[in-house]
Amino acid sequence: MQHFDYVILGGGLAGAHAAFSIRKKDPQSSLLVITNEPHLPYDRVPLSKDYLIGKLDRQKLFLRKEEFYRGSKIEILLRRVVTSLDVSNRIVVLDEGSEISFRKLLLATGGRPKRILILGSDLDGVYYLRTIEDSDRLKAASATAKDVAIIGGGFIGCELASAFRKLGHPTTIVEMGPYLLNMALDEETCLWIGNYLKENGVEVKAGSSAQEFVARESETGERRVQSVRTTDGGEIPASMVAIGIGISPNSELASKAGLKVDRGGVVVNEHLETEVEGIFSAGDVARFFSPLFERHLRVEHYDVAVGHGMLAGENMVVGDQRRSYRDIPHFFSYILDLKINAYGDLTLRDRVVRRGSLDMEKGFFQFYFNKGRVEAVVAVNKKWEEIRKARDLVSLREDFPDPSILSDETRDLVSFVGGAEASRNK
Ligand SMILES: Cc1cc2nc3c(=O)[nH]c(=O)nc-3n(C[C@H](O)[C@H](O)[C@H](O)COP(=O)(O)OP(=O)(O)OC[C@H]3O[C@@H](n4cnc5c(N)ncnc54)[C@H](O)[C@@H]3O)c2cc1C
């Protein structure tokens, strides 16, 4: 049986950054990354954006070239599925039956797209998006497609709509909730973004979901989608369908191994370590304790995957000197000419305060409060200099007796540092 000091399951952002971090801190160790994909670690972010519309070369997706891994002695097993994990004997089993033992392990297995199981979901022309191959399939299909239906109005759905509009396709988003992005952002921002998309030619069908993908049979016997029947009785013409309704974390391996899993996420502490010493988890699959927010979070964002990976790698090496994950969760999204950045935990809020008018050029902030404490901020088309100040208010977790004070644009954001105190004094 082969043995490695460090084994990383998953060659996504979190897994790759953990490997980079381990190699820096422990240059002589043996280190293996196992991934079921046929590629070296790459960035998924452009797959719904510039790569999809042909504005970014494939090579630019990859985090490092092959020589880097060879030179750094980071072994990567491609196209291999880890089928089971034995935490007591510290062994992973691969799909062809071989076993690998480890001293420390990182579970960075990410997530997979949630599937829709309705009549016609197996038709040609119905796609999901997670991998390079998925993006390539969408790109190839869009070359001949006329109209596109997108199922799911979250960030992936809105970014796909943005890409297909840029490619000139009539595009409709079908969203089950009352408006786009309703699971992520406040109502005012969501409605504003929805209107912006509509003004730019995207049809939005909210409050209904896909009931059937209707087939058209070609002379060659191919069964291809031609429309989407929706639950409200409507029918949308669609020569291709892209589905983006969220992901399911790949945590089955962990739960079968007896590790604690909560709502799909592998539970780890602030050091990103599970209850089993030496076994860590990071990225989309990890439900981590955030000392900053004093609760467990699971976040599916680029920055968190990178930051988690780097920290988990470091903590796997340093023993007693482990550091806590104190970063403030951040995500970004580009939708046509909108640049959205959000910091903090967007899920817990009882009040939202807007700073600035809903203006495309000048942009605006929405501050999310819970019991007077600022929990998150969403910035739409704001400059970095301002975004940084807003982010600092969230990371300081300031309390405000009157949150509405943040809407006062005559005051610089920096003047709100100090929360309640600042509110009184100014
Ligand atoms: C199209 C797209 C656009 C995005 N855009 C943005 C954006 O604009 N902003 C933002 O903040 N975030 C964005 N994200 C999210 C961001 O890319 C993810 O949060 C990040 O990639 C998660 O990295 P990860 O390493 O945790 O997981 P993953 O990237 O999912 O990597 C996990 C890897 O593990 C492999 N694996 C799983 N199980 C096994 C197993 N048993 N054996 C072997 N290998 C296994 C998986 O196949 C995968 O390769 C986007 C995601 C997608 C898909």
pLDDT digits (tens, 9 = 90+) for 124-178: 999 999 999 999 999 999 999 999 999 999 999 999 999 999 999 999 999 999 9
Residue 204 is assigned to a structural domain of this protein: yes
Q: Given pLDDT bands bounded at 50, 70 and 90, which one contains residue 398?
A: confident
Residue 426, helix vs strand vs coil:
coil
User: 86 and 43, same structural domain?
Assistant: yes
Which protein residue has the closest C-alpha to ligand 1 atom 20?
302
Spatial separation of the C-alpha atoms in residues 365 and 344, rounded to whole Å: 13
Q: With a cut of 70, say whether residue 423 has pLDDT above it.
A: no
User: 296 and 256, same structural domain?
Assistant: yes
Spatial separation of the C-alpha atoms in residues 371 and 349, rounded to whole Å: 8
CA of 13 to the centre of ligand 1 (A): 7
Residue 330 is assigned to a structural domain of this protein: no
The confidence score (pLDDT) of residue 422 equals: 60
Domain containing residue 74: CATH number: 3.50.50.60
The finding on whether 301 has its CB within 6 A of some atom of ligand 1 is yes
Residue 328 is assigned to a structural domain of this protein: no
The finding on whether 310 has its CB within 6 A of some atom of ligand 1 is no
The confidence score (pLDDT) of residue 425 equals: 54
Number of C-beta neighbours around residue 43 at 10 A: 18
Spatial separation of the C-alpha atoms in residues 108 and 288, rounded to whole Å: 13
CA of 128 to the centre of ligand 1 (A): 14
CA of 422 to the centre of ligand 1 (A): 41
CA of 44 to the centre of ligand 1 (A): 7
Q: With a cut of 70, say whether residue 419 has pLDDT above it.
A: no
User: 315 and 238, same structural domain?
Assistant: no
Where among 243, 260, 294 does a domain terminate?
243
Spatial separation of the C-alpha atoms in residues 342 and 304, rounded to whole Å: 12
Which protein residue has the closest C-alpha to ligand 1 atom 16?
302
Mean pLDDT of 406-415: 94
Number of C-beta neighbours around residue 59 at 10 A: 8
The finding on whether 272 has its CB within 6 A of some atom of ligand 1 is no
User: 221 and 365, same structural domain?
Assistant: no
Of residues 322, 318, 327, the one with CA closest to residue 6: 318
The answer to whether 197 and 171 have CB atoms below 8 angstroms apart is no
User: 216 and 262, same structural domain?
Assistant: no
Residue 331 is assigned to a structural domain of this protein: no
The confidence score (pLDDT) of residue 417 equals: 81
Residue 25, helix vs strand vs coil:
helix
Q: What is the pLDDT of residues 325-335, one digit of tens each?
A: 999 999 999 99
What is the pTM assigned to this prediction?
Answer: 0.95
Residue 154 is assigned to a structural domain of this protein: yes
The finding on whether 184 has its CB within 6 A of some atom of ligand 1 is no
Give the torsion through C-alpha atoms of 12, 17, 20, 25, to 10 deg.
Answer: -140
In this structure, the strands spanning 31-34 and 75-77 are parallel
Closest-lying ligand 1 atom to the alpha carbon of residue 131: 53
CA of 177 to the centre of ligand 1 (A): 25
Q: With a cut of 60, say whether residue 420 has pLDDT above it.
A: no
Q: What is the pLDDT of residues 186-235, one digit of tens each?
A: 999 999 999 999 999 999 999 999 999 999 887 788 899 999 999 999 99
User: 234 and 132, same structural domain?
Assistant: yes
The confidence score (pLDDT) of residue 222 equals: 82
- Please give the residue range of the domain that contains residue 150: 115-243
The finding on whether 44 has its CB within 6 A of some atom of ligand 1 is yes
Spatial separation of the C-alpha atoms in residues 141 and 135, rounded to whole Å: 10
Residue 219 is assigned to a structural domain of this protein: yes
CA of 311 to the centre of ligand 1 (A): 17
Q: With a cut of 80, say whether residue 243 has pLDDT above it.
A: yes
Domain containing residue 412: CATH number: 3.30.390.30
The confidence score (pLDDT) of residue 308 equals: 98
**Maximum distance among all alpha carbons in the chain?**
77
Half-sphere exposure of 248 (CA within 13 A, CB side): 7
Mean pLDDT over all residues of the chain?
95
Length of the chain: 426
Q: With a cut of 60, say whether residue 426 has pLDDT above it.
A: no
The finding on whether 30 has its CB within 6 A of some atom of ligand 1 is no
Spatial separation of the C-alpha atoms in residues 323 and 311, rounded to whole Å: 7
Which run of H or E residues covers position 10? none
Residue 149 is assigned to a structural domain of this protein: yes
Mean pLDDT of 68-89: 98
The confidence score (pLDDT) of residue 319 equals: 83
Q: What total number of domains does the chain contain?
A: 3
CA of 45 to the centre of ligand 1 (A): 9
